[in-house]
C-alpha cells in the first residue's frame, strides 16, 4: 500500500470505526475516485471536523437510580455555514453512527443547496422506556452538555429518530434559559407556537412524494393508482402516506414496531393515523390484515418506501423486493450490498440524501423565518419545498445520465462537488 493510501486506511481512524461510518466513507471513497477529487480535499472530508462525546448522570423517576448516559454531537463540515442535523435518541447509537449521519447531512444540505454543513447528535437511551418527566430531564441535561457547541450561527439541531417537537421545545427552552433570552433559531422542528415553521412536521414525508411523478417517468409507472408500501409510520412514514394518498397513489401497507397493516385495495391513512394516535401502535387496527413488519418489503407493489430505521434492506431480503422504485425516507436504509443487488436488477432507488432532504429544507426555512422574525404561510412553505425538491431531483438525474451512474452516485457527485468547490476557494488557514 502506498503511504498516502495507508494514511487514509480506516484502521488509522479507530475512533469512528463502525459499520455505518465505514459504509459512509466507503461510498465517499468510491465517488471521490470516480470524480478524480483532489486527495487533499478528500482527506479533509473523510473525518468530522469536530466530535464531542459526553457522559452524564440521569436520575430515573424512582429517584434512587442514577444511570450514566452517553451523548454525542458531531459536526462534519463547518465550511458552508452553521452545521445542521438532527438528534436521535436510540438504545444502540454510538459515535461512529453519529459521524456517518453527520457526513450524510453534509451531502444532503449541499444537494438541495441549503447553506449548512452536516452535523448529527445522539443520546444512547431508549426513549420508549422513559416517562415524559424522564425524557425532559435527559433532553435538558444533554442540551447543557453540548450548550457551547450549538447556537443559531454555529450548529442547529432538529428532530431525528426517537425525538420530536416537544424534545426540540425543551432544547430551545434550556438554551434560552442559559443565554437569558428566547432563541428560537437555535433549533428547528419545534412547535409552531415557539417559532416552528408550519409544514415542518410533514416536510420529510411530503418531500419524498413530491419526487414520485418524476421518478415514475423514469421507471414507467403511473403515479396515479401506483401501489405503495411504507416501512414505518412515524414522522416520515406517516406523512409520506398522507402525501401519497393526496397524489392518488394507493397506500397498501404501513408498518411500525408492532407489525404492519395490509390491504391490497388500499388502507385509509387517516383512519390508521387516528388509530395510532389513540392506541400508540398499529396492532389491533380493525380495517386491514395484520402482518409481520418485515413482510412489507416483499409485497407486490410499485413503490417501496423504507421510512423507519437503517439497514432494513439487506442482501437477505433484497431479492424479495418486487417494487420498481424505492424512495428512501430513512437514513441509510439500504446496505451497500443490497444497493448493488437492486441496481443490477434495474430497481430505481432515490437515495436518502436526496429523497428525505425535504426535512432539512423546511428546517432551513424555519431557521430563516426565526432569524428574520417573519413567518411564511403554509402555501409558501409547501410551494418552495416542492420547487427545491423537484429541481434537486432533475439536477441529480441529469448527472446520472451524463455520467452513466445510478442516482445515489449522482447525488453524491453533486453534494461532494459543491462542498469541494467551497473548500477550494476558501483555502487553508493559516
Residue position matching grid coordinates 450490498:
337
Member of 27, 143, 363, 369 binding ligand GLU (CB under 6 A): 363
Q: Mapped to the 3 state alphabet, what secondary structure does 250-307 carry?
A: EEEEEEECCEEEECCCCCCHHHHHHHHHHHCCCCCCCCCEEECHHHHHHCCCCEEEEC
Determine the straight-line distance between the first and last CA of the chain, rounded to whole angstroms: 31
**Judged by CB under 6 A, how many residues of this single chain contact ligand GLU?**
12
Q: Which is nearer to ligand GLU, 95 or 156 (CB)?
A: 156
The residue range among 177-185, 244-252, 265-273, 352-360 that interacts with ligand GLU, by the rule CB under 6 A, is 352-360
Torsion of CA 378, 384, 388, 391, to 10 degrees: 120
Residues forming a β-bridge with 57: 68
Check binding of 164 to ligand GLU (CB under 6 A): no
Q: Which is nearer to ligand GLU, 106 or 335 (CB)?
A: 106
Question: Which candidate in 4, 50, 84, 120 is catalytic?
Answer: 120
Member of 356, 397, 410, 413 binding ligand GLU (CB under 6 A): 356
User: Using CB atoms, what's the residue nearest to ligand GLU?
Assistant: 86
Residues between 11 and 30 with contacts to ligand GLU, criterion CB under 6 A: none
Shortest Å distance, C-beta 201 to ligand GLU: 11
CB 338 within 8 A of CB 313: yes
The residue range among 29-37, 227-235, 336-344, 354-362 that interacts with ligand GLU, by the rule CB under 6 A, is 354-362
- From residue 310 to residue 349, what is the string marking binding to ligand GLU with x (rule CB under 6 A)? ---------------------x------------------
Member of 83, 188, 227, 369 binding ligand GLU (CB under 6 A): 188
Shortest Å distance, C-beta 393 to ligand GLU: 16
Shortest Å distance, C-beta 213 to ligand GLU: 22
Residues forming a β-bridge with 313: 334
Q: Is 415 exposed, middle or buried (0-12, 13-18, 19+ CB in 10 A)?
A: buried
The residue range among 41-49, 80-88, 242-250, 298-306 that interacts with ligand GLU, by the rule CB under 6 A, is 80-88
Check binding of 85 to ligand GLU (CB under 6 A): yes
Non-local (6+) Cβ contacts of 333 within 8 A are 231, 306, 308, 309, 310, 311, 312, 313, 352
Q: Which is nearer to ligand GLU, 141 or 201 (CB)?
A: 201
Shortest Å distance, C-beta 217 to ligand GLU: 26
Q: Are strands 50-59 and 66-75 parallel, antiparallel or unpaired?
A: antiparallel
Check binding of 360 to ligand GLU (CB under 6 A): yes
CA nearest to 122, candidates 106, 103, 104, 146: 146
- From residue 34 to residue 73, what is the string marking binding to ligand GLU with x (rule CB under 6 A)? ----------------------------------------
User: CA-to-CA distance for 194 and 373, rounded, in angstroms?
Assistant: 11
Per DSSP, the three-state class of 188 is coil
Non-local (6+) Cβ contacts of 393 within 8 A are 211, 214, 215, 350, 354
The residue range among 143-151, 302-310, 338-346, 353-361 that interacts with ligand GLU, by the rule CB under 6 A, is 353-361
User: CA-to-CA distance for 391 and 386, rounded, in angstroms?
Assistant: 8
User: What b/e readout covers 112-140, taking b as 16+ CB neighbours within 10 angstroms?
Assistant: bebebbbbbbbbbbebeebeeebbbbbbb
- Give catalytic status of residue 120 as yes or no: yes
Member of 46, 73, 84, 201 binding ligand GLU (CB under 6 A): 84
Cell numbers placing 329 = 425516507
Q: Which is nearer to ligand GLU, 84 or 137 (CB)?
A: 84
CA nearest to 239, candidates 107, 367, 135, 385: 385
Cell numbers placing 213 = 411523478
User: CA-to-CA distance for 110 and 103, rounded, in angstroms?
Assistant: 11
Q: Which is nearer to ligand GLU, 155 or 339 (CB)?
A: 155
Check binding of 160 to ligand GLU (CB under 6 A): yes
Member of 77, 125, 158, 341 binding ligand GLU (CB under 6 A): 158
* Binding stretches for ligand GLU (CB under 6 A): 84-86, 158, 160, 188-189, 331, 356, 359-360, 363
Residue numbers annotated as active site: 120
Amino acid at each position: 500500500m502506498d503511504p498516502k493510501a495507508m494514511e487514509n486506511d480506516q484502521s488509522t481512524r479507530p475512533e469512528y470505526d463502525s459499520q455505518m461510518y465505514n459504509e459512509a466513507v466507503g461510498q465517499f471513497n468510491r465517488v471521490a475516485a470516480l470524480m478524480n477529487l483532489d486527495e487533499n480535499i478528500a482527506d479533509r472530508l473523510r473525518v468530522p471536523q469536530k466530535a464531542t462525546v459526553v457522559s452524564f448522570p440521569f436520575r430515573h423517576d424512582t429517584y434512587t437510580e442514577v444511570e450514566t448516559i452517553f451523548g454525542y454531537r458531531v459536526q462534519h463540515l463547518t465550511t458552508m455555514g452553521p452545521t445542521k442535523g438532527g438528534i436521535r435518541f436510540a438504545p444502540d447509537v454510538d459515535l461512529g453512527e453519529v459521524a456517518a449521519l453527520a457526513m450524510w447531512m453534509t451531502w444532503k444540505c449541499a444537494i438541495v443547496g441549503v447553506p449548512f454543513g452536516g452535523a448529527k447528535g445522539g443520546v444512547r437511551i431508549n426513549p420508549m422506556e422513559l416517562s415524559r418527566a424522564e425524557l425532559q430531564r435527559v433532553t435538558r441535561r444533554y442540551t447543557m452538555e453540548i450548550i457551547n457547541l450549538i447556537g443559531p450561527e454555529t450548529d442547529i439541531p432538529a428532530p431525528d429518530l426517537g425525538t420530536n417537537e416537544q424534545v426540540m421545545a425543551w432544547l430551545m427552552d434550556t438554551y434560552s434559559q442559559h443565554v437569558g433570552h428566547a432563541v428560537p433559531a437555535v433549533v428547528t422542528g419545534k412547535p409552531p407556537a415557539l417559532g416552528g415553521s408550519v409544514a415542518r412536521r410533514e416536510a420529510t414525508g411530503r418531500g419524498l412524494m413530491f419526487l414520485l411523478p418524476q421518478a415514475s417517468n423514469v421507471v414507467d409507472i403511473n403515479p396515479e393508482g401506483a401501489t405503495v408500501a411504507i416501512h414505518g409510520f412515524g414522522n416520515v412514514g406517516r406523512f409520506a402516506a398522507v402525501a401519497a394518498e393526496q397524489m392518488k397513489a394507493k397506500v397498501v401497507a404501513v408498518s411500525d414496531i408492532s407489525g404492519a397493516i395490509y390491504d391490497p385495495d388500499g388502507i385509509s391513512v387517516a383512519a390508521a393515523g387516528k388509530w395510532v394516535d389513540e392506541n400508540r401502535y398499529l396492532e389491533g387496527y380493525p380495517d386491514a390484515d395484520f402482518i409481520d413488519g418485515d413482510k412489507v418489503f416483499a409485497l407486490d407493489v410499485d413503490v417501496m418506501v423504507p421510512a423507519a430505521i437503517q439497514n432494513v434492506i439487506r442482501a437477505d431480503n433484497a431479492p424479495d423486493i418486487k417494487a420498481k422504485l424505492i424512495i428512501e425516507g430513512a437514513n441509510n436504509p439500504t446496505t451497500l450490498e443490497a444497493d448493488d443487488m437492486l441496481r443490477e436488477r434495474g430497481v430505481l432507488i432515490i437515495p436518502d440524501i436526496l429523497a428525505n432532504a425535504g426535512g432539512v429544507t423546511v428546517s432551513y426555512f424555519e431557521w430563516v423565518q426565526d432569524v428574520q422574525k417573519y413567518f411564511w404561510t403554509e402555501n409558501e412553505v409547501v410551494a418552495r419545498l416542492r420547487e427545491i425538491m423537484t429541481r434537486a431531483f432533475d439536477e441529480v438525474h441529469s448527472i446520472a445520465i451524463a455520467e452513466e451512474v445510478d442516482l445515489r452516485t449522482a447525488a453524491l457527485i453533486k453534494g461532494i462537488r459543491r462542498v469541494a468547490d467551497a473548500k477550494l476557494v476558501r483555502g487553508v488557514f493559516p
